[in-house]
Structure 1
Amino acid sequence: MKRKKILFFIYTMGKGGAARTLLNIMNNLDRNKFEPMLVTLNHDGEYEQYVKEDVKFIKLEQKRLRNGIRPLAKLIKQERIDIIFSTIPNYNMVAILAKMLSFSEAKVVVREADHVGGSFLGNLKCFIYGRFYNRTDQVISLSEGVKQNLVTKYKIKPNDIEVVYNPLDIVNMTNEIESGTLPNHLKPIFNKGEKVVVTAGRLVKQKDHHTLLKAFAKTNDQVKSQLVILGEGPLEEELVSLAESLGIQDRVHFIGFQDNPYIFFNQSDLFVLTSIHEGFSHVIAEALASGTPVVSTNCKSGPSEVLDEGRYGDLCEVGDEHAISDAMTNVLTLAPEQIQERIELGKERADFFNAPKIVSRYEDVILNTFND
């Protein structure tokens, strides 16, 4: 079979789950079947350094998303691309429009990664996205919950959607943990003889760090702990102020984006996610793979699927600081053998999302577009 040229399009390979997922798919694709190419706009991204050397990497000259439509269309035609793959609504729209302008026979596969909508404006945007998604060759949802959202808000037929979970590059994660070390200035946090709670995600409303800080303050009254927050975002100053008002400023550490988050997960006693909504929650799966127990909100729609309705981690109501604190306290006070049991269960679950298995599923779904 002739190798298919597949173009992955994203705004930037910067900090975020979408870029990390594309990276895991590209790097693990069967090179006997696919010839991968990565196209971004003219921005530098932290994950660029991890793209395999055999992936042709092109940066368009444009920096604004809408200005990239025509150059991308030209590239699709020049490179004789067989498949265009993109993720996140705005990027998907650009990919779809570029394909239309290219007048090529390329297949378009779009991936929806979040459970969005709810407000009138949000639902209207979803409906508009859906009109374009219906012009593609395949829509991929990263969870069953997101699929249902695509059906109800985007008005896409269920049979036109395939659910494929996020791939975890467990081999790479294990190497990062085994070879990595904590930065010297952060080692004291983990050497205080206290429990360490960790979280990771953009400092934005969706992640609801406000509830996390309130829950941590209550837990800290029971179990003296340190809270490590990986991520950057516009709410950092506000969250620092909240930590101060709660009297936990000396126990909360905003350490920004980290190239190797897995070493932090592995060295911590508990991972906590307090999101208001998620599509899949890649970071929960990464925490499980890193050997870290998980407490999460039961938000729509990813965490319950990753944790299999609570079998592999605790699920709490969104915004319920008391329930989240109780779950955190419970995990932090478990006996060593109980903790080890949870760690082993978590790794078992993480293996379900191992990249070779999931990417093979992506390959099948993508190649099936040529059989329609």
Structure 2
Amino acid sequence: MKKVLFFIPNLMHGGAEKVLVNLVNNLDRDKYDITVQTIFDEGVNKKYLKKDIKYKYIFKKLFRGSTTLFKLFKTKFLYKSLIKEQYDIVISYLEGPTARIISGCLDKNTKKITWIHTELYNENLFSIGFNSFEGAKSSYESYDKVICVSEKVKESFINISGIKQNVDVLYNVNETDDIIRKSKENIEDIQLNKSKINICSVGKVTEVKGYDRLAKIHKKLIDEGLDHNIYIIGTGEDEPKIRKYIKENKLENSFYLIGFKDNPYKYVSKCDLFVCSSYREGFSTAVTESLVVGTPVVSTLCSGAQELLGYNNEHGLVVENSEEGIYKGLKKLLEDKELLEYYKKKAAERGSFFSKEKTVEAVEKMLDEI
């Protein structure tokens, strides 16, 4: 049995945190003795870890400046101080501080894996959590395997780092059966207006998700007489700014920030369309989940979008990553009900490709062969 550690900053409500829990919960317990360790004992996803997954943390509470603090110490010292047990495989499940700490493992009997969830397309992004670009490159070169969540993320990683050896793509694990079951639950806290097209999005309400520009596009479409509602499921620091825009433009009855939901799938499945307005993604968990429940998708051209929706819009609409691109994509589907119905069928077909069984099997094969 292989002793495996997954290391991540926290288990808060992000996509990477969620798919890590999905992954470890489904790995074969006869083959792997699994520990999840966080830097901070924070997050809604912690409660979803199965009882036989060992869990530990370093700090009880999140505090500002932790990334800077870790940079003061050598990687070897950090690893020895923070990762106290012996493992066969140690995995940093996010870029940044955890990747730097795990790179400090010098034990030849321990295999090191790092997971990349986003496009590291410039030196600044590549170096987050590290003291320099060179330091980041040296750390990543020490890994036995670099796992990227999409082909675009892989391409970006190779381009910026020059590292080509042992860089592979594995798709995120989604609890597809669970998602479908939960999607059938009734919505009780809000009333969807069935006389309008209902559009939704799920994600942290942060700048990178582009919800501020989505609100502007919504206003433009409403002003043109294309009646629809938009529901944002999530929470984050951009909320006050977006709420201010909604109020100033009298959009309170059509653009809704409904907060974080334990079960977003019941909302997504009952909406007519899902929109991903992000500036950047790795391989969007929310888009994947939307396809699983059969809700058509319009997504900006960011990492993973074409792998999910097709390079020629076979399974959904991939639009230019701009306000104009999102506006044109939404307008097209708001005006063409037949096309919207067509993409509903295509979404369900594509969703089956990302079944839990296939994605878990691929990860286990990698862990067995490393």
Instruction: Bin the TM-score by the shorter chain.
Output: 0.7 to 0.9
Instruction: Give 1:5-84 correspondences, 5 Å limit.
Output: 5-61=3-59, 63=61, 64=66, 73=80, 76-78=83-85, 80-84=86-90
Deviation, structure 1 residue 44: 2.5
Match of residue 304 from structure 1: 306
Distance 2:266 2:336 in 1: 22
> Are 2:364 and 1:363 aligned?
yes
Q: Are the counterparts in 1 of residues 58 and 82 from structure 2 also a CA contact under 8 Å?
A: no
SS at match of 2:200: strand
TM-score, normalising length: structure 1:
0.87
Q: Which residue of 1 aligns with 2:230?
A: 227
Aligned residues: 354
Cα separation, partners in 2 of 1:34 and 1:268, compared to 1, 3 Å: same
**Alignment match, 1:204:** 206
> Conserved in 2, the CA contact under 8 Å of 1:203 and 1:233?
yes
Matched, 1:109 2:110: no
Between the aligned partners of 2:159 and 2:340, the Cα distance in structure 1 is 40
**Per-residue CA shift, 1:78-124, capped at 9, x if unaligned?**
3x311111222222112222x24xx4722111011101233x63466
| Equivalent residues in 2 for 1:344-355, closer than 5 Å | 344-355=345-356
Structure 1 gap segments, 5+ residues each: none
Aligned CA distance change for structure 1 residues 72 and 54 (closer, same or farther; 3 Å): farther
Matches within 5 A, 1:214-253: 214-220=216-222, 221-253=224-256
Cα 1:73–1:182 change in 2 (3 A) is farther
SS of the aligned residue for 1:153 comes to: helix
In 2, Cα distance between equivalents of 1:28 and 1:149:
29
* TM-score (norm: length of structure 2): 0.88
Aligned 8 A contact 1:162 1:365 in 2: no
1:319-358 equivalence runs, <5 A: 319-321=322-324, 323-335=325-337, 339-358=340-359
* Equivalent-residue separation in structure 2 for 1:361 and 1:207 (angstroms): 29
Equivalent in 160, 166, 185 of residue 160 of structure 1: 166
Could you tell me how far apart the structure 2 residues matched to 1:209 and 1:124 are? Answer: 27
Q: Deviations over 1:8-50 (max 9, x none)?
A: 1111111101101111110111222212111113423101121
Deviations 1:122-144 (A, max 9, x none): 46655542221110111001111
Per-residue deviation at 1:249? Answer: 2.9
Within the candidate set 288, 292, 312, 1:285 is matched to 288
Whole-Å Cα distance in 1 between the matches of residues 282 and 134 of structure 2?
18
Identify the residue that residue 146 of structure 2 maps to in structure 1: 139
Closer, same or farther in 2 for the Cα pair 1:104/1:46, shift >3 Å? farther
User: Which residue among 169, 172, 176 is the counterpart of 2:178?
Assistant: 172
Separation (CA, whole Å) in 1 of partners of 2:278 and 2:135: 26
| Sequence identity (%) | 27
Closer, same or farther: CA 183–81 of 1 in aligned 2, 3 Å: farther
The residue aligned with 1:275 is 278
Distance 1:351 1:73 in 2: 43
Q: CA-atom RMSD, angstroms?
A: 2.4
Q: How far apart are residue 74 of structure 1 and its match?
A: 5.4
Cα offset, 1:304, TM superposition: 1.4
User: Tell me, what secondary structure is at the counterpart of 2:90?
Assistant: strand
- The structure with the greater share of residues assigned to helix is 1
Secondary structure at 1:243's aligned position in 2? helix
Which stretch has the larger CA shift, 55-64 or 250-259? 55-64
CA contact (8 A) 1:60 1:71 kept: no
